[in-house]
Amino acid sequence: MDETIESSFRPNLFQGKTAFISGGTSGINLGIAKRFAALGASVAVLGRNPEKAAAAAREIEAEVVGARALALTADVRDYAAIETALATAAGELGKLDILIAGQAGNFPALALGMSANAFKAVIDIDLIGSFNLFRAGHQHLNLPGASLIALTAGQAVRPMALQAHVCAAKAGVNMLVKTLAIEWGPLGVRVNGISPGPIEGTEGMRRLAPTPESEARVRASAPLQRFGRVEEIGDAAVYLCSPAGAYVSGTILDVDGGTGAGSAAGRVGM
Instruction: List, for residues 227-246, the tens digit of each pLDDT value.
Output: 999 999 999 999 999 999 99
User: Per-residue pLDDT tens for 158-195?
Assistant: 999 999 999 999 999 999 999 999 999 999 999 999 99
DSSP one-letter string for 85-135: HHHHHHHHH-SBSEEEE---------GGGS-HHHHHHHIIIIIIHHHHHHH
CATH number at residue 235: 3.40.50.720
CA 244 to centroid of chain Cα atoms: 19
**Rounded distance, CA 125 to CA 235, Å?**
25
* Parent domain of 72: 18-254
Number of separate domains in the chain? 1
Residue 267 placed within a domain:
no
In a domain, 234, yes or no: yes
Query: Is 122 part of any domain?
Result: yes
- Is 268 among the domain residues? no
The residues, any chain, with a CB within 8 Å of residue 87's CB and separated by 6 or more, are 140
Structure confidence at residue 6 (pLDDT):
57
Partners of 196 in beta bridges: 255
The distance from CA 208 to its chain's CA centroid, rounded to whole angstroms, is 18
Total-model pTM: 0.92
Residue 65: Cβ within 10 Å count: 8
Task: Give the whole-angstrom CA distance, residue 31 versus residue 44.
Answer: 13
pLDDT tens digits along 106-165: 899 999 999 999 999 999 999 999 999 999 999 999 999 999 999 999 999 999 999 999
pLDDT digits (tens, 9 = 90+) for 32-48: 999 999 999 999 999 99
**At residue 93, does pLDDT exceed 80?**
yes
Q: Tell me the β-bridge partners of 167.
A: none
Confidence at 7, pLDDT banded by 50, 70, 90: low
In a domain, 203, yes or no: yes
Using CA atoms, how far apart are residues 12 and 74, in angstroms rounded to an integer?
Answer: 29
Q: Report the C-alpha gap between 141 and 178 in whole angstroms.
A: 18
Domain-located, residue 209: yes
Strands 147-151 and 98-101: parallel
Q: Looking at the domain assignment, is residue 82 inside a domain?
A: yes
- Residue 183's identity, in one-letter code, is E
pLDDT beyond 80 at 85? yes
Task: Average the pLDDT over 216-223 and give the result.
Answer: 86
- Residue 218's pLDDT band (boundaries 50, 70, 90)? confident
